[in-house]
Amino acid sequence: MKYNAAEATKLGVAIEDPLVVENPDAFSWDETADLVVVGLGGAGVAAALEGLERGLKVTAVDRYEGGGSTAANGGIFYAGGGTKIQKEAGEDDSPEEMYKYLKIEVGDVVSDETLRKFVEESVETVDWILANGGKLNSKVWKKKASYPPLAYFLYHPDNSLVASYVARAKPAARGHRAHISNGKKAWGVGIGIWGPLRDSAMAKGLNFHRYSEARQLARDGTGRVIGVKILSIPAGSSAAAKFGSFIKTADRLLAMLPPTLPFAAITIGLGSWYLRRAAKIEAAHRQERWIRAKEGVLLSTGGFIMNNTMVRHFAPTYATGMPNGTLGDQGQGIMMGAGAGGQLALMDKISAWRFINPPKAWSDAIVVNSKGKRMIDETVYGASLGEQIGDHNGGVGYIIYDKNLRKQAFKQALDPLIVPFQRDITLLNLLFNYKKADSIDELAHRSGIDPLGLIDTVAAYNRGARGEQPDAFGKQMDDMVPIVAPPFYAMDISINSRFLPLPVITFGGLRIDERSGLVLDEAGQTIPGLYAAGRTAVGVASNTYVSGLSFADCVFSGRRVARHIARANR
């Protein structure tokens, strides 16, 4: 389907159809650059810095402060093959083992050539980040965890320690967490990498327009993209200061509580009020500016998870999930590219994160669907479990455990090493999110699970846990505990679970030429002058999610664009 401005409006995105400029030299441009970056998140800042280092004149625009989900996330950067940090930690890794593992996760979403290039550049990319001031540390956490204890900065952010994966690729800790002091929080850590890259780009001459929204692309008579129109709040004005203050307050309030939790309506309501005040400033003070792009425009505005209209349209199964993004993830760049004839792909592909370790007691138990059947080795990374629940089991899932595992879960929740948000969500669900019964049959009836299916599943699992037969999903015995001690419990971990929100992000976006980053049209031909990167485009992280892979793909795809433009310019 082809999208124009009217279709984009129906999806909650305000853009204008591309302007055709027959004589670009006669047009009244406000500014000119070689590369214009739309969205200064992970992909945008990587493209900008790489371009500046290669002699390009670069201008970047962002509707907010920049950083986006990259700066706001947990600060994990996926890298391996023998990085400086891995070597300091004593981790034995190689590009081939990293490729073998990632091939399992990435599948065919990108070509083998692209995946190998991503892997082969990994060591150099970490060196580049460090050279530009990025903060990393080699203190390693070797156990399975959705997020490492806060005193550790290198860990396994994936399925590499899961038995079925170990059999296919040698594991190594590849999650490089930004080394910053952030109190006891596990978000906002990405600033430890993004911030230094931005500062380095600014020092090298980046022209950055914050509080500036891209609305319209310009094309010449041949169809080449040659510029972009932005609506910008004047820099240094009182309106800009107020807008920035309102946006920061709104962002903090909107992210304070998951939507399904008690009192969330209050914080979300207050955050929305500040957003409306910010919108009034935009309406009253923004000025139109046209920026010419001599070599190319890069669309790197993130995904569309914060635009529920788009989510309901493209991926309705996940519309009730908890959007894991920042205010800029509205699909602006995706729809601008589509409006210029760009091909959309994987728009229904959502990554849903159902983390159940810690506490390890939950992953020692079983996860079943409404028929009482297991779906996967429960020790897998949370995105793998979330994919099973959302894509293959109707969005429904339950953890089934017993009295003994419940005691272990409480004990593990109080471990001083556990990250506070992991402790709090564990205790909340142990206290309020369960059905309880003295038999498996009764538990099934109370939970709406097929009784015969659940009885058979628990019996088979217990035989595996006692070593009487192999586990159907290859789960290691060290990660299995028999479910035998009444009372028995069922914990709702479905997409719409009230006390265990399901974080979701989008994977779909513009299809691009993997050697250049140029956007492809519906016929598979490149659109001259139009690039996309990060979660605005389909990339290495678009099949399934492991922590830090999206961040790493942002940097990889952003630098790719700058390199292509620099080569063409030379």
The DSSP code sequence of 485-518 is SSSEEEEE-STT-SSS--EEEE--EE-B-TTT-E
Whole-structure pTM value: 0.95
Question: Average of pLDDT values for 149-153?
Answer: 94
Q: Is residue 477 part of a domain?
A: yes
In 3D space, the residue among 409, 418, 400, 415 whose CA is nearest the CA of residue 465 turns out to be: 400
> Is 16 contained in some domain?
yes
* Same domain membership, residue 161 and residue 61: no
Pair 485, 530 in one domain: no
Residue where one domain finishes, among candidates 129, 150, 177:
177
Give the pLDDT of residue 250.
92
182 domain residue, yes or no = no
Residues 229 and 247 in one domain: no
Mean pLDDT for 522-547 is 97
- What are the tokens at 290? 């046209």
Same domain, 468 and 395: yes
- pLDDT tens-digit profile of 167-197? 999 999 999 999 998 767 778 899 999 999 9
480 located within any domain: yes
Q: 332 with 340: CB under 8 angstroms?
A: no
- Tell me the DSSP string of 307-373: -HHHHHHH-GGGTTSEE-S-TT-SSHHHHHHHHTTBPEE-TT-EEE-----SSHHHHHSEEE-TTS-
Rounded to whole angstroms, the Cα distance separating 570 from 561 reads 14
pLDDT digits (tens, 9 = 90+) for 36-48: 999 999 999 999 9
Same domain membership, residue 368 and residue 389: yes
DSSP 260: T
- Is 342 a residue whose pLDDT tops 90? yes
User: Band of the pLDDT at 34, cuts 50, 70, 90?
Assistant: very high
Tell me what pLDDT residue 252 has: 86
Q: Are residues 334 and 397 in the same domain?
A: no
Could you tell me if 303 and 197 lie in one domain?
yes
Q: What pLDDT does 261 receive?
A: 66
Provide mean pLDDT across the span 437-445. Answer: 98
The answer as to whether 184 is a domain residue is no
Q: Are residues 373 and 472 in the same domain?
A: yes
**What value does the mean pLDDT take over residues 482-497?**
96
Q: Tell me the three state secondary structure of residue 398.
A: strand
Domain boundary among 492, 519, 544: 492
- Let me know if residue 497 belongs to a domain: no
Would 498 be classed as within a structural domain? Answer: no
- Is the residue at 500 inside a domain? no
pLDDT digits (tens, 9 = 90+) for 103-141: 999 999 999 999 999 999 999 999 999 999 999 999 999
Q: Are residues 214 and 303 in the same domain?
A: yes
* CATH code of the domain covering residue 397: 3.90.700.10
Based on the domain organization, do 327 and 404 belong to the same domain? no
Q: Are strands 287-299 and 31-38 parallel, antiparallel or unpaired?
A: parallel
What is the CATH number for 516?
3.50.50.60
Domain extent for 265: 235-285
Is residue 50 located within the same domain as residue 118? Answer: no
Cβ atoms of residues 306 and 259 within 8 Å: no
User: What pLDDT score was predicted for residue 421?
Assistant: 85
pLDDT at position 258 is: 67
Mean pLDDT, all residues of the chain: 95
Q: Is the confidence at residue 570, as pLDDT, over 70?
A: no
Phi, psi of 161, rounded to the nearest 5 degrees: -95, -5
Whether the predicted pLDDT of 439 surpasses 70: yes
Per-residue pLDDT at 519 exceeds 70: yes
* pLDDT at residue 397 is higher than 90: yes
Tokens of 38: 């739309």
The domain total for the chain is 4
Task: Give the whole-number percent of the chain exceeding pLDDT 70.
Answer: 99
Pick from 177, 200, 225: which residue ends a domain?
Answer: 177
- pLDDT of 262 > 80? The answer is no
Which neighbouring-strand residues pair with 504? 323, 352
SS (HEC) of 160-227: CCCHHHHCCCCCCCCEEECCCCCCCCCCCCCHHHHHHHHHHHHHCCCEEECCEEEEEEEECCCCCEEE
Tell me, yes or no, whether 199 and 305 share the same domain.
yes
Q: What is the rounded CA–CA span in Å between residue 327 and residue 58?
A: 24
Q: Quick one: which H or E segment has residue 561?
A: helix 549-569
Average pLDDT (156-163) is: 96
Q: In this model, does residue 259 exceed pLDDT 80?
A: no
